[in-house]
Structure 1
């Protein structure tokens, strides 16, 4: 090979290398921008999850060396743990009551706030505000004082000649106070519903009015079908958040009275940080994840019967 041929080959090789590297210019820049998120995801989410999965297969108590036990923790959960079944029962009661009530309250308020009226921005902000402070410790303490024996709720009842009671200290009503606290914090779902209402074309309401539909018929035949994807999203998010409810039960009732508010997350916390059974608590955490996934899959499976996507099927039910 002469000198000119070798030089041409080198030039072609360099061009090929530059073309190859140029393909990675944009992806590398993109990875650099998302690097903080990737570091946070793998360091604070993915790694702890896989570590907890490993711990769930061990006898890890902080006081003794880690010992591999395989599926023994899971077997113990389902065959020899009455507190597990009790906490699951309370949690499902809480989820089945709080999630629908919260969605109904959020939807009805969103429909009212979707109308043009004076001071509407103030009303939207005021109603959304409880969701900003969330299930904080301060709110939980306030709620405990409101529904205590000497709380303001009993004082209001006394004005009407009704004798109050300890709503938090009674097994029949303690869980109801926690449900009421969750329903009161419907602001986030309300904002999402309000955004969905803004996207419903007025032509649909005008056409239904021409056909003789009143407001009630329009709500059930137009508003609800058009909002069904939003309802589906809020339902899934509400179920996930409700399964993980902890702060309110811990601060207000601490699982009592008579374990009537002993939710699953509280039981998991007790196993991990009161008894220091971190391996067993990790197994409980993975069981919680599996329960949430199962419920979410069931909801997703039924969505084809009641969720409508106008852009995909021309307003018909999704197939």
Structure 2
């Protein structure tokens, strides 16, 4: 009885739409006429005829490889700084966490676009020190980086998780290492990272999954076109374009299922490789 609201919501809002999407991925559907069965044509077209699809995959992978490591590194650095802070910890923790609440909104993405536009704040600051790039969002080589930096700026959520993990590490381990003459870097490499590895793994999986689904920043910065020169054409943005702009909803549904499969494979690989670097204190021999 208590589970029934959740079961009903999951069925109506998740499982049923997924089943409909799976069916539509084998059809030609334009949102207006009844879907017609085409079998595997949408999937074969994805791999053999759609060059922009491969461009969107490349952009997405590059974005993931840039944004996720930088975001986690900054989150860990901020968590380490907050752990050693004696006064004002609550204020700075809230201040650092705020971008994670606001960064996914369209309004923040539009502000970010204005900051990195030609004549924007970043352009003026760089010009003041003799670096003339122009508007990042208008340069094919810099537009993707501007989107990645917006994700890096939202480091508050993984930072809070890192901070909780740091507070669970026994202080006695650091004191014993200090007695043995270990310095700060030695303590970080031999104590902090191994003890924090489960938390690091959790953040890595979570942020990687979210990065593969990036949409709002790219949509706002490129005005929904993935420009300039398709440099910000991420997979989800191209999916949206095929489904709602071109009205090829069957093809977009096939793209969505391929994205689900890709995220599942990446997550499985992360779990598989975690056995070699994630340390759990309750493991035998740990």
TM-score of the superposition, structure 2-length normalised? 0.96
Cα shift at 1:71: 1.4
Question: For residues 146-225 of structure 1, what are the structure 2 equivalents within 5 Å?
Answer: 146-225=115-194
Match of 2:27 in 1: 58
Match of 1:278 in 2: 249
Unpaired runs of at least 5, structure 2: none
C-alpha separation in 1, matches of 2:103 and 2:49: 36
* Matched residue SS, 2:181: coil
Cα shift at 1:75: 1.0
Cα shift at 1:204: 1.1
C-alpha separation in 2, matches of 1:116 and 1:169: 40
Output one character per residue of 1:32-76: Cα deviation in whole Å (capped at 9) or x when no partner: 222221111111011111110111111111233211112111111
Match of 2:281 in 1: 310
Cα shift at 1:149: 1.0
Query: Which of 70, 79, 103 in structure 1 is aligned with 2:72?
Result: 103
C-alpha separation in 2, matches of 1:101 and 1:187: 13
When Rg is computed on C-alpha atoms for both structures, the one with the higher figure is 1
Cα shift at 1:188: 0.3
C-alpha separation in 2, matches of 1:158 and 1:68: 56
Question: For residues 123-142 of structure 1, what are the structure 2 equivalents within 5 Å?
Answer: 123-142=92-111
Query: Which of 205, 213, 220 in structure 2 is aligned with 1:236?
Result: 205
- Name the structure, 1 or 2, with higher relative contact order (CA <8 Å, separation 6+): 2
C-alpha separation in 2, matches of 1:163 and 1:263: 27
C-alpha separation in 1, matches of 2:81 and 2:56: 37
* Matched residue SS, 1:117: coil
Does the C-alpha gap of structure 1 residues 134 and 162 become closer, same or farther in structure 2, counting only changes over 3 Å?
Answer: closer
Question: For residues 239-318 of structure 1, what are the structure 2 equivalents within 5 Å?
Answer: 239-253=208-222, 254=224, 255-315=226-286
C-alpha separation in 2, matches of 1:155 and 1:132: 28
Measured on the aligned residues, the alpha-carbon RMSD in Å equals: 1.2
Cα shift at 1:314: 4.7
Query: For structure 1, which segment, 262-271 or 292-301, has the greater mean C-alpha deviation from structure 2 after superposition?
Result: 292-301
Unpaired runs of at least 5, structure 1: 1-31
Output one character per residue of 1:236-257: Cα deviation in whole Å (capped at 9) or x when no partner: 1111100100000001113110
C-alpha separation in 2, matches of 1:148 and 1:114: 36
Match of 1:71 in 2: 40
Cα shift at 1:162: 3.6
Cα shift at 1:164: 4.5
C-alpha separation in 2, matches of 1:122 and 1:313: 40
C-alpha separation in 2, matches of 1:161 and 1:83: 36
- Aligned partners of 2:103 and 2:109 also within 8 Å: no
C-alpha separation in 1, matches of 2:127 and 2:65: 31
C-alpha separation in 1, matches of 2:47 and 2:174: 52
Query: For structure 1, which segment, 207-216 or 184-193, has the greater mean C-alpha deviation from structure 2 after superposition?
Result: 207-216
